[in-house]
Amino acid sequence: MGYSAIPFYIFSALLFFIPFALMMAEMGAAYRKEEGGIYSWMNNSVGPRFAFIGTFMWFSSYIIWMVSTSAKVWVPFSTFLYGSDMTQHWRIAGLEPTQVVGLLAVAWMILVTVVASKGINKIARITAVGGIAVMCLNLVLLLVSITILLLNGGHFAQDINFLASPNPGYQSGLAMLSFVVFAIFAYGGIEAVGGLVDKTENPEKNFAKGIVFAAIVISIGYSLAIFLWGVSTNWQQVLSNGSVNLGNITYVLMKSLGVTLGNALHLSPEASLSLGVWFARITGLSMFLAYTGAFAIHR
């Protein structure tokens, strides 16, 4: 979608995420001594039947998430090893890449289940490291993009246009409207902190403030990140490749960020490419650790 995704994220934040966060803050303050999170909130609001149905559906969604993540986790792992996503070229014993990744996903679920059954203390450390690393990636995007912008005299790799998408798949009004689903789902997950309200000091004030503050920061962060990617990445040159998909686009973008930084610093083409590869490798390792910890905890 490019820059044209920004209005969708802003509208989704204003019409869904921030109101939803305010609801979470209100419920958290009202039931600050409850330990059950959203189940306790729904139980006190609409009764145990709907509370059970809602909570059951919520936890069931994690099954879908884990199945998709068990396959997706091999993309950052491959990027860390090779500097780019090679999962589309993995063939073993006559199996197609999709089949190979599927078997690896099954093996991954078994391995993580065994490890998680022995305790999550070590996994929690991995989660912490991965989480910090992913947060640092956002800081890298901000600082490197500003550096590139200054070195290139304020020139953006992608022309700014908030109304039209460079992606030919999002040219019609109906197609662009379908992007709302992506924007809304990007804001999902804040309800997971509901179970922490009883562990928050002075929850009637601090929990509400924390939720609202996080909602505002995340809302601004999404739009700012999309805008900054236009500094280093041109859609036609980088993202129009058929090998780019939702699973590996993060690493493609980070590689482009590194290459563009190298070019802005007037490094040789080989040095710029090497810098981009290491940007992708570090991102792959960070995301692999984050996926590993999150997956194990949900197990």
Q: Where are the domains of the chain?
A: 2-298
Give the pLDDT band of residue 175 (cuts 50, 70, 90).
confident
> In this predicted structure, which of 6-15, 148-157, 206-215 has the lowest mean pLDDT?
206-215
Nearest-angstrom CA–CA distance, 253 and 232:
8
pLDDT at 171: 76
- Percentage of the chain exceeding pLDDT 70: 91
Exposed, middle or buried: residue 86 (CB in 10 Å: 0-12, 13-18, 19+)? middle
Statement: residue 195 has pLDDT above 70: no
Calculate the average pLDDT of the chain: 84
Nearest-angstrom CA–CA distance, 204 and 27:
10
Structural tokens at position 261: 């930084």
pTM: predicted TM-score of the whole model, two decimal places = 0.84
The CA-to-CA distance between both ends of the chain, in Å, stands at: 34
pLDDT at 39: 81
Residue 284 sits at φ, ψ, to 5 deg, of -60, -45
Give the pLDDT band of residue 298 (cuts 50, 70, 90).
low
Structural tokens at position 17: 């995420």
pLDDT at 123: 67
Residue indicated by tokens 């990445």: 233
pLDDT at 147: 96
pLDDT at 266: 94
For residue 68, CA distances in Å to 29, 64, 97, 101, 104 come to 34, 6, 16, 11, 12
Tens digits of per-residue pLDDT, 109-151? Answer: 888 888 777 766 666 676 777 778 888 898 999 999 999 999 9
Exposed, middle or buried: residue 177 (CB in 10 Å: 0-12, 13-18, 19+)? exposed
pLDDT at 262: 96
Question: What's the number of CA atoms in the CB half-sphere (13 Å) around residue 12?
Answer: 22
